[in-house]
Every structure is written in structure tokens, then in C-alpha cells.
Structure 1
């Protein structure tokens, strides 16, 4: 059953909002930002250009999803539910093999 366009727009907007919150949180957590940059291979001056790249956003959210203590620290600091981050992760990562 196809999803309704309003649902897709709302899901996309929620995912964008979550990604922006993650980036803002990382920007205020120098140790986490440094770890993310080291793992991603990005330089700090490349962040501004990368924020509009869905692949970058997927990788940034994957960074949180791949380490539960980091995910929980973000959620606690921002009042975001882990399920919200997981929904954004699914949005940017695309369907998992076998999902429609």
C-alpha cells in the first residue's frame, strides 16, 4: 500500500529536523565532533558543504545509531526519543534489504 504524500513530507521534515539537531549537538560537543570527523574522514571546513548531502546526513545519524551511549547522550541532551533518531536513520539510509 503506497504511503500518502503528506506522510512522506512529514517524515522527511521530521528527519531533517532530527539531522539538524544532531549536527547542532555535535557542534557543541567538541570530543564527539572530533570523533565523528575522524571516523568520517571529513575536515571541519567541509561540514558546511556536506550538510545538504543525504549521504552525509545518513552517515552522521549512523554515527549515533552505531554507539548506544552516544545516542543516549544526544537524546538526553536534546529531549529527543531514540525512536525519532531511528526513524530519521531509516529515512536517510533507505530500506533495509527485504523491506519495502
Structure 2
């Protein structure tokens, strides 16, 4: 996801995270939720991430459901 500059810029813009904040909070649930919300909000991003990670797209929705809002 972050290898694609346009996608990375959009992720940062939509989540409100800076690159440093993203790096520093990678292990935190709110960051996981923000990234999953980003992916689930755009089918092209969702499919690209699923293909890159070799998981079904539904896995992202299931992961998001496990994180409190």
C-alpha cells in the first residue's frame, strides 16, 4: 500500500496521520482501525492489499470488526 505514492498520500490525508505518526503507532489499535477503514472505503485499495498479502478481502472486514470503534 505504501509503495504506491498516490495511495500512501491518500492514506495519510484520509487518516490524518503524518508519516512519523504512522511509523510510531503501527502497533496501536486506533492505527489498525484507521488503516482498515481506509482499505474498506475503497475497493481498489482493498483488492490491491488483499492480492499483495494473499488473503481474501473479507479478512480485512473481519479484522476491522475485532477492533472497538
TM tier relative to shorter chain: 0.7 to 0.9
The structure with the largest alpha-carbon Rg is 1
Match of 1:58 among 16, 33, 37: 33
Aligned-residue CA RMSD (Å): 1.5
Matches within 5 A, 1:1-100: 26-93=1-68
SS of aligned partner of 2:32: helix
Partners in 1 of 2:47 and 2:68 — Cα distance? 20
Structure 1 residue 78: Cα displacement: 2.3
Partners in 2 of 1:68 and 1:47 — Cα distance? 22
Uncovered stretches (5+) of structure 1, i.e. residues with no partner: 1-25, 95-100
Structure 1 residue 34: Cα displacement: 0.8
Q: What TM-score do you get using the length of structure 1 for normalisation?
A: 0.61
- What does the per-residue CA deviation read over 1:42-74, in whole Å, with 9 as the maximum and x for residues that have no partner? 111111211122111101101001111211111
Aligned length: 69
Q: What TM-score do you get using the length of structure 2 for normalisation?
A: 0.83
User: Moved runs in structure 1, 4+ residues, more than 4 A?
Assistant: none
